[in-house]
Structure formats: structure tokens, C-alpha cells
Amino acid sequence: MKQVLTGLFLALVSLTTMAQDLIVTQEGDSLNCKILKERNGYIYAAYMKDGQAKRNYFYPALLKDIQRGFYTATSIPSDATIEFGKTHIGIRSGWGHRLAPIADPNPAKQSYLKELQNGWVYSGHIDYFIQESLGLGIVTNVFKSRNTIAGYLVKSDPKLYTAIVSNRHTIWYIGPSLSYQRLSTNKQHSLIFRYSLGYIHYNNTESVSISTYEFEEALNGGTLGYYIDVNYSYFFNLHFGIHANIALISGIPNSFTLKDDWGHKTQTTALEQDEYAGVRHVDIAVGLVFAL
């Protein structure tokens, strides 16, 4: 009797494990699938297409019939029925290069400004994938560079003074994003194309030291900007991986607030085009990614 009960139990488990579901669309098309989740009438299911396991959402208005356990055999790999995290959180750091041209005719100043064009970047994103291929989220990016030049001549009529000049540049961006994802069948490789339109802010703090005298002023400006990146991720499991991306961030602030270390402020507006402080930069970064 015990052997009979054991056999019945194993048979039941086998049928439950192998059973697949049937979805029939309003057009009469039948889909052999495995329903992973059903919420408020929406169906999230795994199925085979062109020899590859796919997942997608099916909306109530497009469905005619749903029958669970309709098929007794399955053709879907077992790992395809494990739901991949919809929320991706990524953090990364790397190198950035500003693309704005340098127009200063002084060779020493040119070399100084070229070094300021390169700096460190810190960025991150949160994506929520409403479908396997389509995500909405938010992205942020910070570019920082600094440089110091000694022996630079500062003119204060009618004299020239030898000075130490230091600059600290910060460009940060934040905005909502739209992402398109290509995910491999085994869920280990992800390629994401991301676009964002948001706010970009520019700050240049310059310090001038002449003998015992020091002076500092900060130039700030903000504008509408955009962010584009291509992101590749490799997942060690369904929840954790590493990733790398190449990004372009662009914006052109055309008005600034100048503040000196005495607290004086001057508002500058409607600059000429050749005076714009282009903040466009290209980044290459690597980091960690989490799928929740």
C-alpha cells in the first residue's frame, strides 16, 4: 500500500511539474506557455518562440481563454520559468572626457585646460522593467576634474602678478530614463540602450593665490540636458552581476551666477554663442548591478 501511495504521489508531482498552460487570443491563436504570474487580469508567461524561451505580458482585452495545466508535457527549459528581477539598480565609476573646444591662445593655459577636460565620473541608475524589453527609471551622473597651475600671470591694471591658479569642475546630471533591454536566454547577459532627458548643472570654482593674498569665485549654471548610454551586464545569478557602460551627457548652460568669496553675486544672462560653457562629456565606467 505504501508503495502504491508513493507511486501516485510521484506521478502527481510529475504531472504538476510538466503541465503547461494554454492562452487563446481574441484572434483564435493558441499559445503553449507557462503562466508565471497573474495580477489584476494581466498574465505574465514564459513560452517558446523560434527555439528560444521568451517572457511577456498578456493583457485581458487581447485574451479569449486561459486554461491552466492544459498540456501534459513541457518544452520550456526549467530556468525559463524563474522570474528575473524587474528592478535593476546599478552603481559605477570610471573616466570622463569633456568635448568642449579650447579657444585660449596661450599654450600654457591650453595645456592646463586640456588636463581639466579629463576627470572621474560617478553614476547610477534605477530601472523598472514593465516588460522584459522596456524599462522606466531614473539616472544620475557626476563628472569631477581639477587642476593647478603655478607661475600663471594675472593682470590687475597696470601690473602683472605671478599667481597660483586652481580650478575645480563639477558637472552633474539627473533625469528620468527610458530603457530598451535585450536579455539572453539564460538571463546571464543583458544589453541595455538608455535615453534620458533631464537637468544638468555646471560649477567651476577657481582659486587664485598671489603671495599671501587668496581669492576664490564660483561660476554656476544649469540647463536642460540629455543622457544616452549603452550598458552591458553579466549576471552571476538572477540577482547580482557586474556591468560596464559608455555614456554621452550633453547640455549648454547659457546663463550663470558668479559668486566671489566675499559673497558678491552677479547674474550673467544671454551669453554669446562662443562664450557658452559646453558641458558635453563622454564617460566609460564599470560597476555593480542588482536585479530585485
Mean pLDDT of 140-161: 79
Task: Of 44, 88, 104, 80, give the one whose Cα is nearest residue 240.
Answer: 88
- Strands annotated E in the chain: 20-25, 30-39, 42-49, 52-58, 63-71, 87-98, 118-129, 134-156, 159-183, 189-210, 213-235, 240-250, 256-260, 265-268, 281-291
Three-class secondary structure of residue 187 per DSSP: coil
For the record, the C-alpha cell of 159 comes out as: 601690473
Looking at the domain 2-81, which fold is it?
A: SH3 type barrels. (2.30.30)
pLDDT recorded at residue 198 = 96
Residues, the chain, total? 292
pLDDT tens digits for range 249-273:
998 776 677 777 766 676 665 544 4
Tell me if the pTM is above 0.75. Answer: no
The average pLDDT across 15-19 equals 52
Q: 87-291 has which CATH code?
A: 2.40.160.20
Sketch the domain layout of the chain as residue ranges.
Answer: 2-81, 87-291
Q: How far apart are CA 145 and CA 11, in angstroms?
A: 67
User: pLDDT confidence of 6, banded at 50, 70, 90?
Assistant: very low
Task: Please choose, from the candidates 156, 154, 262, the residue with its C-alpha nearest in 3D space to the C-alpha of residue 208.
Answer: 154
Nearby residues of 281 by Cβ (< 8 Å), 6 or more positions away: 96, 97, 98, 99, 121, 143, 171, 248, 249
Residue with cell 544672462: 269
The half-sphere exposure of 133 on its side-chain side, counting CA atoms within 13 A, is 7
The reply to whether 2-81 and 87-291 are identical in fold is: no
Q: How confident is the prediction for the chain on average, in pLDDT?
A: 82
Q: What mean pLDDT do residues 102-111 have?
A: 77
Return the closest-CA partner of residue 194 out of 209, 211, 176.
176
Q: How far apart are CA 192 and CA 205, in angstroms?
A: 35
pLDDT of residue 88: 95
Question: Over 80: is that where the pLDDT of 245 sits?
Answer: yes
Lowest average pLDDT, out of 26-40, 132-146, 156-170, 204-218, goes to: 156-170
Is 155 a residue whose pLDDT tops 90?
Answer: no
Please say if the pLDDT value at position 14 is more than 50. Answer: no
Q: In this predicted structure, what is the pLDDT of residue 272?
A: 47
For residue 107, what is its C-alpha cell?
Answer: 599654450
